[in-house]
Amino acid sequence: MLLSALALAALHPFTAAAADEAAGFPSKPVHIVVPVAAGGSADKLTRLIAERLTERWGQNVVVENVAGASGTIGAARVAKATADGHTLLQQGEGLTLNAILFERLPYDGQKAFTPVIKAVVNPQILVVNPKTGINDFRGYLARAKAQPQSISLGLPGNGGIAHVAHEMIAQDTGAQVNYIPYSGGGPATLDVLAGHVDATLITLAAVTDHVRAGKLRALAVTTGYRSSALPDVPTMAEAGLPGFAVESWQGYFAPAGTPAAVVAKINRDIQAVISAPETQAKLEDMGFKVAGGTPSDMVRTLSAERLRYAKTIQTAGITLR
């Protein structure tokens, strides 16, 4: 047995070192870069996970909001970070969208990051300020078609999933709205609440409490299923757009070159955190569904979404520079 073990070590000289590196991780505070403004769903999700990881690891897990340029500024910071697992990026389909939309990026959109875990999936939800007088999704579509550009729609990031999803709606129905881009879901929500803009299409978890309080009127969710957090809100397929379904997700990435054993440890620990009954209940109450899975699962998701979203973006003529 000892001979076999030594032979394997000779064949794979970095295996023991990698195992030691993972066992000693983290050896200092871990920073998770959230590439949008504070207050949105990505921020809320990451702060909850960071709190639980701090308890689990015995090291501070610090959330840094680095907004700007549709998330590429924050992503660039992580791409340039030391590849040891101590700097992570929160991202989802936005990573794919930016790789399609930008002519140039300060990093390679397909090679700069190592997928770690898809943490949650969630619907986007269309909400309006009640003072708009729009009561349901059919009414929204009717006004946007009869009076093009009369509805102002706050986007939680130009070229993000909300933008692309709404372009899918527009291409299917002919509805036209006036897009107002923001640096994240938090600022967009505040302006809808204040009545500065009429509506937003946003991650459900970002506005759940406002909908429950009656401060925002929910018209429909983008997924093919209703959310258990707001079960009375219909899907867009139910509310007038048969067959429509867009599911958003949020996960975590490490810089390319991060040791596989460290990636595997982070994956296992985040999986354990989000699967814990108390945390899972909080996430579901916010409007998320726990996903989990392996880094390979994320690779397949990224590949499939690139094909789908590229077609919509090309048809709509969306570009970012």
pLDDT attached to residue 321: 60
Q: What residue ranges do the domains of the chain occupy?
A: 23-119+249-316, 123-221
pLDDT band at residue 69, thresholds of 50, 70 and 90? confident
Q: What's this model's pTM, rounded to 2 decimal places?
A: 0.85
CB of 206 closer than 8 Å to CB of 156: yes
Mean pLDDT confidence for 188-215? 96
Question: What is the C-alpha separation between 155 and 150, in angstroms, rounded?
Answer: 15
Share of the chain above pLDDT 70, in %: 93
Mean pLDDT confidence for 210-235? 97
How does DSSP classify residue 234? P
pLDDT in tens, 245-275: 999 999 999 999 999 999 999 999 999 999 9
Nearest to 174 by CA among 152, 150, 141, 200: 141
pLDDT attached to residue 37: 86
Give 259-298 as a DSSP string: -HHHHHHHHHHHHHHHHSHHHHHHHHHHT-EE----HHHH
Question: What CATH topology corresponds to 23-119+249-316?
Answer: D-Maltodextrin-Binding Protein; domain 2 (3.40.190)
Nearest to 26 by CA among 258, 220, 187, 216: 258
Mean pLDDT confidence for 273-281? 97
pLDDT at 8 over 60: no
Q: How far is CA 228 from CA 44, 128, 141, 285, 293, in A?
A: 18, 20, 25, 8, 22
Mean pLDDT confidence for 75-79? 97
Q: What 3-state DSSP class applies to 94?
A: helix
* Nearby residues of 297 by Cβ (< 8 Å), 6 or more positions away: 118
Question: What is the C-alpha separation between 23 and 7, in angstroms, rounded?
Answer: 22
CB of 29 closer than 8 Å to CB of 53: no
**Does the fold of domain 123-221 match that of domain 23-119+249-316?**
yes
When computed from its CA atoms, the radius of gyration of the chain, rounded to whole angstroms, is 21
Mean pLDDT confidence for 90-94? 94
pLDDT at 4 over 60: no
Mean pLDDT confidence for 37-48? 91
Query: CATH: 3.40.50.2000, 1.20.140.10, 1.10.1040.10, 3.40.190.10. Which one for 123-221?
Result: 3.40.190.10
